[in-house]
Amino acid sequence: MNSSSPILTLGNPILREQARPVDCLNSPQLQRLIDDLVATTAEANGVGLAAPQMGYSIQVLVIASRPNLRYPHAPTMEPTALINPRLVSHSDEQDKGWEGCLSVPGVRGRVSRYREVEVEYIDRWGRTQRQVWQDFVARIFQHEADHLAGKVFLDRLESEVDLISEEAFQRLVVAGQM
């Protein structure tokens, strides 16, 4: 497995850029970036990561949900790379849930997201895919897609009451309240 790369944190201007679409789908650099995103996500106990978080302002993200120290109740799925993803449709229903971000360490926030999303994207082999995700995986997609638009979850908070430290969040998880 590749060793992970450093993750940019809030304050780095790349995190606020609108990511560019990927033009060259068969480049070895793109495949290496996808491998690096997957490895870094796993090593950092994340469930997703976007290319801008690694310093590349291009429309690539990975969703890699699995139970880990940061998300003990996450569902398990194969890591999935999405190139030039596009939200096709979403449910009317939203759900408010806790999110953390590897680029905003030490903080969690309660953010409203659509419960279901339909997404079209190009996979790492250059094939167009269409996928419907619900609940936690839909939340991961929306969180990572925000990175491609230069946003972080803090931008979606309704109130500072919806912020908590990672340490306090983990205490609630251990107590069974999350």
Residue 144 among the catalytic residues: yes
- Residue 171, pLDDT score: 85
What are the strands of the beta sheet with 163-165, ordered from one edge?
Answer: 94-101, 104-114, 163-165
Average of pLDDT values for 14-42? 95
All structural domains of the chain, each given as residue ranges with its CATH number in brackets, are 13-90+117-152 (3.90.45.10)
* pTM score of the predicted model: 0.93
Question: For 31-81, what is each residue's pLDDT tens digit?
Answer: 999 999 999 999 999 999 999 999 999 999 999 999 988 888 899 999 999
User: Which of 144, 158, 160, 167 is an active site residue?
Assistant: 144
Q: Which residues pair with 117 in a beta bridge?
A: 90, 133
pLDDT exceeds 70 at position 12:
yes
